[in-house]
Amino acid sequence: MLRTPRAERWWSLTDEAGTLRMAARADAPGGTGQPSFVGRRLTRHHETIETEVQFSPERAGDRAGLLALVDENHFLALVLERQADGRDAVVLRQRRAADQGSVGVVIAQSPAPAGQTLRLQLSFRGARLDAAYATGETGAWRSLARDVDASILATVNAGLFTGTVVGPYAGRDAEKP
């Protein structure tokens, strides 16, 4: 988990055996709150991280998937996300600097089939990254983005403090007044 957990219980390991369940909350990875994120340190320069997402977005800006984060200003997120038009998409977001918004900017996206389980994959190759997705348990991997600059995840961008952590993430845009 990122930062000190609040009393709010946004995650569970017991609601469904063998499954991590997370609530999508408005605390964004680019903010100073505690986003719904459980990460583990990336320990190799060449590593593939996969997850299965069962997510039913309720409104535009709801998202769930994988987050690779160094600090609040440097991250990549591969997510299933509800779009403003009500359709769902597989989206790769990136934040390289504080002026890019608290959920980063979209650098790749593809329509997602509604109501299907998605598998998401981030493949790290040193300073490069590939993002892919598949439907169901046995669907073939489809490339969303290849050879993405992942150098933003270098610890030098975070003052050599933490290192990159990767794991499941769920979020939603803050409601507008």
pLDDT in tens, 123-133: 999 899 999 99
Stretches in the chain below the pLDDT threshold 50:
177
What pLDDT score was predicted for residue 158? 53
Render pLDDT for 137-175 as a digit per residue (tens, 0 to 9).
888 999 999 999 998 888 665 555 567 889 999 998 876
Return the sign of the alpha-carbon dihedral for residues 52, 22, 173, 54.
positive
Tokens, residue 96: 């390289």
Q: Is 22 helix (H, G, I), strand (E, B) or coil?
A: strand
Residues written for the chain: 177
pLDDT of residue 46: 92
CATH of domain 24-171: 2.60.120.200
Q: Give me the residue spans of the domains in the chain.
A: 24-171
